[in-house]
Amino acid sequence: MPGNAAPIKSVKLFFLFGILLAMATLTARAANPIDALVQDKRVALAMSLLDKNLDWVTEQQIAITEIPAPEFHEAARAAYVAKLLAACGLDVHTDSVGNVIGERGGSFGKSKDVVLVVAHLDTVFPAGTDVRVKRVNGRLQAPGIADDGAGLAALVAIARAMNEAQIKTQTKIVFAADVGEEGEGNLRGIRELMAAYKGNVRAVIALDGAATDYVTTIGLASRRLDMQITGPGGHSWSDFGAPNPITALARGIVQFSRTRVPQEPRTTFNFGVIDGGNSVNSIPAEAGVKVDLRSEDDAELARLESELRKSFASAVDEEMAAAEPGNEALKLKVTVIGVRPGGRLAADSPLLTAIENVDRYLGNRCRLERSSTDANLPLSQGIPAIAIGAGGLGGASHSLEEWYDPAGRELGLKRAMLTLLAIAGAQP
Ligand SMILES: [Zn+2]
């Protein structure tokens, strides 16, 4: 019966596929350039030093986290990190905005190329926050312990291992602890770094927070605006007919909410805070709303902002047209309270290939992410950049209960260092 032959055939086929798959896997493994990279004696030594120095790395993470670094007040923490980087044999200086920069020379002829590795000094926590690190159930707990205590600790861990193993690279490497990554800092640290090495930055690796299970390749662009409308105000009864800033604001919100946004590139808007007026029987003299606009694409974001401005300008006109003539005109004031440019790492970028090869070598599973980090700025300038976690586990970021668990940190450290070396080129 033909029916009997079929299973035998498929068993044979299955077997054949198995062999082919095994061969393909072996070929793929052999083709991974990271295998060759870790054959280098110095690279192998640096890898083992990352394992050996783990306790020291955690001590440094605690010391760094316990130095308060609110936005715009990063200097004390910067001074400490500067000392650590100098002890790793780097040529260290602090620039005009407060970034700590540690340079490590390359050996590749006259090339001025640099690979930039950054972790941010600033935290979202205001001065006076208790930043002492507590040990709770084997975890470290403190505001900023992971974001970006973990990244800063990884920065010095990698600099130290490379120094002790005397690794030479083709391209110069710049280790930077930068300012102004969070909130109103508006990326001023990375902005200054990109300007200082303008034209020579081959790639940027941002070490931000914990984890090893993602790589940020899309920098989400965002703009935040404060829309304020002011007018004459008055009595609800006797001045009825005067233009009302709250009504105008409502007209603007409704009008703009009809704006269509694309799914791809993903684009969003949010009216997040509204205020205005002070009593139920007064025509308010002012009203305002804070708006958050985001997109994976800068052009889309610009379009959205222009729509927002148009909607509110026409809402004010509409409210004036509805008011009794002879009233003082409403005024619209738009303030940009935050700007982050966006961008995307090309799918065929050598930087992406490098980290994918490293993940394959380390057996690490990872997904591509979009996020808003220091990588936004280089990506917006068309320069290859990624943001990755520095290993270990973390949670409750930006809260007083923020925690970090150093278990498994070595995977993150090795992942970051190998990616860096794959891009900077280890010199045998
Ligand atoms: Zn961060």
Instruction: Tell me which residues of the chain have a pLDDT lower than 50.
Output: 1-8
291 CA from centroid of ligand 1 (Å)? 22
What topology is assigned to 36-220+342-427 in CATH?
A: Aminopeptidase (3.40.630)
133 CA from centroid of ligand 1 (Å)? 18
So what's the pLDDT on residue 8? 44
What are the tens digits of pLDDT across the range 61-114? Answer: 999 999 999 999 999 999 999 999 999 999 999 999 999 999 998 775 567 899
207 CA from centroid of ligand 1 (Å)? 8
427 CA from centroid of ligand 1 (Å)? 32
What topology is assigned to 221-340 in CATH?
A: Alpha-Beta Plaits (3.30.70)
To the nearest 10°, the Cα dihedral for 190, 192, 193, 195? 120
So what's the pLDDT on residue 185? 77
Alpha carbon distances (Å) from 96 to 62, 92, 189, 192, 289: 27, 14, 10, 9, 35
What are the tens digits of pLDDT across the range 369-385? Answer: 998 899 999 999 999 99
CB 145 within 8 A of CB 395: no
Q: What is the pTM of this model?
A: 0.80
Q: How far apart are CA 361 and CA 45, in angstroms?
A: 17
121 CA from centroid of ligand 1 (Å)? 9
413 CA from centroid of ligand 1 (Å)? 17
340 CA from centroid of ligand 1 (Å)? 14
Alpha carbon distances (Å) from 338 to 181, 224, 295: 12, 5, 14
So what's the pLDDT on residue 414? 98
- Both structure tokens of 426: 């280890």
147 CA from centroid of ligand 1 (Å)? 5
404 CA from centroid of ligand 1 (Å)? 13
So what's the pLDDT on residue 183? 72
68 CA from centroid of ligand 1 (Å)? 15
Residues 6+ away with beta carbon under 8 Å from 273: 289, 290
In the chain, what are the domain boundaries?
Answer: 36-220+342-427, 221-340
